Structure 1
Amino acid sequence: MKVGTDGVLLGAWTGLRSSERRMLDIGTGTGLIALMLAQRAPEAEVTGIDIDDVSQARENGEASPWGSRLHFVQTPVQRFAPAERFDRIVSNPPFYDATLPSPDAGRTTARHTVALPFSELCDAVLRLLAPGGRFSVVLPQSEVGRFLLAAGGRLTTLRRTDVRTTPRRPAKRTLLELARTEEADGAPMVDELVIGTGEHEDYTPEYRALTRDFYLKF
């Protein structure tokens, strides 16, 4: 579970505000999304947490130009107790609750809601999010309904982008930005993003524009 399209999408799509100074990446893995946030928000302190070893994330952070603003902690988010809450929380969480676990323990943790059920993720977000804060998450489109059910009406969608790999394929991923329900106002913004044109390694102008700051090939 190294660098994947889901993480790149979330790190590039998340709508950062200039007022956001404290950011949290839940399930940081190699630190990809945390690094992208630090690159995009030059005045923000970014913390990445993971139930698994974060030594590779630390190495990547230290090798980057933003190492002084990146902090990585190995801890389950259910037990994470920072001194201050966060203006922005992001997560590329485990999913596929109904599917059979992989025989590889690492992939099972990363791909299935074993260590972090959606209900516990939502509980953690509500506990750790500062007043007026925002939560961004990427999910398989098939899991969006289950995630919102787990939120129990406590989080409301402000923005949603459904992602297709090519124009002819149905959307497989969904990007959501949410806030506490009492802080949300009005209908969510809903749109769609297509990654490729359908030709081999030919990307749409929209995907290139979104991710060009992070891909050398763009």
Structure 2
Amino acid sequence: MPDPTQQYPAPATTQLPAQQRRLRIAQGILLLFHITGFIGLGFSANPDFYLQFVPLNLLLTVGLLLAFQPERSAAFVWFCLVTAAVGFFVEVIGTRTGLVFGFYQYGPTLGLQWLGVPLLVAINWLMLTYTTGILARYLPLPAFARAVVAALLMVGLDACLEPIAVRYNFWQWRFDVIPFQNFKGWFAVSLILQVFFNRTDFVKRNALAPFVYMLQLLFFFGLGLLG
């Protein structure tokens, strides 16, 4: 006869709704912040008020995204640190030489800077590399082909972001022209990071990642349509 005091794990049917609730709550929070920002930047007479919340929005997005990483192993932490560091120092080289993306300088919108580059830029590179890498995992392709697709997804988001970034002084380009070199540089750096993503051994699954990418894409694309 089975021991009536023995504890059994909760059935999957009761665990799944809890996971779905967490996901819906996170999606709702991100949607609320992005809709508020979209309305404020697109229609407010004082968009500067909303721009001060850009760093908070980015940190909140990344924090919720990483909270849905199933296992935050040492390999995953290593991936995050290396990706953030590579993204940051590539930008340092880029702003100082113009060799990677073209000639540009960062404005004050993204907050605290070191070596002329906002520290949040490192977080942004991590977020984009991670979310697009997760998205590419849905495709039945060889690893390098997935890396190429993920890099293209990063470039596509950057193409939507660039006009908005210039408009709200995230950064400024020399002669106010976004060079094609920027997109070539983005693809090259993104591809390197995606290969690193594929070769680092951690659980590559995140229920929030597709929502984060689409929300970012629609946010910047929508602001671009508003002119």
Fold shared per TM-score above 0.5: no
Q: TM-score range by the shorter chain?
A: under 0.3
Higher relative contact order (CA 8 A, sep 6+): 2
Structure with bigger gyration radius: 2
TM-score (norm 1): 0.26
With normalisation by structure 2, the TM-score equals 0.26
More strand by share: 1
